[in-house]
C-alpha cells in the first residue's frame, strides 16, 4: 500500500522501523524458551504453594528442581547465541519444554494437591522421584537382569535367524527341509511356548533366553531369506564373470545385498522379543523389570510401577536407537533411510 523511498526511511522512520522488527524477531526466537521457563516456574510454584494431600517426602526437592530447570531454560534462551549447538538445541526443543511443564503442573495439581484423580492409582510426580531415589538398588538390579536376559536371547536369536535365513535363501536343499518347519513353528507366538519351556529347560533363565531367541529368530529368518532371494541375478553374473567362487557370491554379494532386509527383520525381532521378555519375567524369571512390575502390583506400589514403566520405555527406545545407529553405519550406501 504505502511506498516509501530509501531517503525517506533514513530521514525519520529508520530508528523506529529497525528496532521494532528486531524486537519481533528476538521474541519469535526466544519467546518459546521464555514461556518454557515460565511453565517450569509455575510447576515449581504448584509444588510448593499448596499442601500435599498425602505424605510425600520429595515435594520440596521437586519444586526446587523445577525452579532450577526454569532458571537454566531462561539463561539458555537469553544467551542462546553464545552457546553454539547447545543453544540451538534448546531453542528447537523449547515448545516441548512448555508442554512438559504444563503437563507436570496439571499432574501435580490433579494428584498431590486436590486429588482429582483417585489416589493410590495415580501417584504424583514426587512419589515417582521417591522411587528413583529410595528404591534405586532394586531398580538397578532389575534393569541389569532385564538387559542381560534380553541381550543374550536377542543375540542368539538374531545370529540363528540370520544363518538360517541365508541358508534357506541360498540352498535349495536347506530350503526344502527348513521352510515347512519355519511355516509351522514361526507364526506361533513365542509366549505360547512358555508353559512347555519352563519345565523342559533346566532353569527359567535358559527357558526365557530360548523364548526371546525364538521371538527374534522368526522375523530375522524370514526377512534375511527374502533379502537373499531377492538379490538381482545380474549381481551374481557380474561377480561370476569376474572369477568369483561360490563362497564369494554368498559372503560378498548375497549378504551385503540382503542387509537392508536383514535390518528390517532385526527391528521386528527386537519388538517381538521385548514382549516375550516382559511376559517371561512376569511369569517365570524372578528378576528384571517385568518381575519388578509384577512385584510392585502385588504391593499396590503404583508409583513403583510407573517408575519401572518409564525406565523400561527408555531402555526399549534406547535399544532401537542403537539398532538404527548400527544400521545407518553399515548401510551408508543407501539413500533416504528413515531416521528414528
Instruction: Give residues in contact with another protein (CB under 8 A).
Output: 232, 234-235, 237-245, 248, 252-253, 256-257, 259, 331-335
Instruction: Supply angle C-alpha 305, 274, 120, rounded to 5.
Output: 10
Between 202 and 246, name the residue whose CB sits nearer to another protein: 246
In angstroms, give the least distance from the CB of 216 to another protein.
Answer: 24
Compute how many other C-beta atoms are within 10 angstroms of the C-beta atom of residue 161.
26
Between 160 and 249, name the residue whose CB sits nearer to another protein: 249
Q: Which residues of 129-159 are buried (b: 16+ CB within 10 A; e: fewer)?
A: bbbeeebeeebeebbebbbebbebbbebbbe
Dump the DSSP string for 143-209: HHHHHHHHHHHHHHHHHHHHHHHHHHHH-HHHHHHHHHHHHHHTTS-GGGGHHHHHHHSSSHHHHHH
> Cα torsion for 94, 97, 98, 99, to the nearest 10°?
130
Comparing CA positions, the residue from 252, 192, 186 lying closest to residue 222 is 186
In angstroms, give the least distance from the CB of 317 to another protein.
Answer: 28
Between 132 and 236, name the residue whose CB sits nearer to another protein: 236
Residue with cell 538404527: 324
Between 201 and 235, name the residue whose CB sits nearer to another protein: 235
In sequence order, the 6+-apart residues with CB closer than 8 A to the CB of 158 are 216, 217, 220, 266, 269
Between 235 and 324, name the residue whose CB sits nearer to another protein: 235
Residue with cell 557370491: 249
In sequence order, the 6+-apart residues with CB closer than 8 A to the CB of 135 are 304, 307
Between 244 and 315, name the residue whose CB sits nearer to another protein: 244
In angstroms, give the least distance from the CB of 154 to another protein.
Answer: 24
> Cell for 281?
519375567
Between 136 and 238, name the residue whose CB sits nearer to another protein: 238
In angstroms, give the least distance from the CB of 247 to another protein.
Answer: 10
Between 140 and 251, name the residue whose CB sits nearer to another protein: 251
In angstroms, give the least distance from the CB of 162 to another protein.
Answer: 17
In angstroms, give the least distance from the CB of 193 to another protein.
Answer: 37
In angstroms, give the least distance from the CB of 160 to another protein.
Answer: 24
Reduced to 3 states (helix: H, G, I; strand: E, B; else coil), residue 280 is helix
In angstroms, give the least distance from the CB of 337 to another protein.
Answer: 12
Amino acid at each position: 500500500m504505502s511506498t516509501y523511498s530509501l531517503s525517506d526511511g533514513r530521514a525519520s522512520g529508520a530508528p523506529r522501523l529497525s528496532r521494532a522488527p528486531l524486537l519481533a524477531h528476538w521474541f519469535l526466537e526466544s519467546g518459546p524458551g521464555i514461556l518454557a521457563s515460565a511453565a517450569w516456574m509455575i510447576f515449581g510454584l504448584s509444588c510448593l504453594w499448596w499442601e500435599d494431600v498425602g505424605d510425600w517426602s520429595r515435594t520440596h526437592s521437586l519444586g526446587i528442581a523445577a525452579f532450577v530447570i526454569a532458571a537454566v531454560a531462561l539463561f539458555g534462551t537469553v544467551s542462546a547465541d553464545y552457546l553454539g549447538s547447545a543453544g540451538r538445541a534448546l531453542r528447537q526443543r523449547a515448545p516441548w519444554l512448555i508442554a512438559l511443564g504444563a503437563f507436570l503442573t496439571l499432574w501435580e495439581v490433579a494428584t498431590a494437591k486436590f486429588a482429582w484423580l483417585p489416589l493410590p492409582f495415580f501417584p504424583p510426580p514426587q512419589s515417582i522421584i521417591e522411587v528413583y531415589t529410595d528404591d534405586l538398588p532394586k531398580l538397578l538390579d532389575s534393569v541389569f537382569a532385564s538387559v542381560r536376559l534380553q541381550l543374550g536371547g536377542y543375540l542368539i536369536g538374531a545370529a540363528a535367524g540370520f544363518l538360517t535365513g541365508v541358508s534357506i535363501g541360498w540352498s535349495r536343499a536347506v530350503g526344502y527341509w527348513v521352510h515347512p518347519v519355519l511355516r509351522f513353528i514361526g507364526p506361533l507366538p513365542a509366549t505360547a511356548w512358555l508353559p512347555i519351556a519352563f519345565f523342559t529347560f533346566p532353569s527359567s533363565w535358559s527357558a526365557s533366553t530360548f523364548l526371546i531367541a525364538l521371538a527374534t529368530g522368526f522375523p530375522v529368518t524370514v526377512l534375511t531369506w527374502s533379502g537373499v532371494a531377492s538379490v538381482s541375478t545380474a549381481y551374481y553374473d557380474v561377480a561370476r564373470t569376474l572369477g568369483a567362487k561360490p563362497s564369494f557370491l554368498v559372503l560378498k554379494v548375497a549378504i551385503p545385498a540382503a542387509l537392508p532386509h536383514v535390518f528390517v527383520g532385526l527391528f521386528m525381532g527386537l519388538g517381538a522379543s521385548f514382549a516375550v521378555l516382559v511376559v517371561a519375567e512376569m511369569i517365570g524369571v524372578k528378576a528384571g523389570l517385568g518381575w519388578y512390575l509384577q512385584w510392585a502390583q502385588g504391593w499396590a506400589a503404583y508409583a513403583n510401577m510407573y517408575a519401572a514403566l518409564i525406565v523400561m520405555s527408555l531402555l526399549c527406545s534406547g535399544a532401537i536407537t542403537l539398532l538404527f545407529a548400527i544400521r545407518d553405519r553399515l548401510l551408508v550406501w543407501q539413500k533416504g533411510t528413515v531416521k528414528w
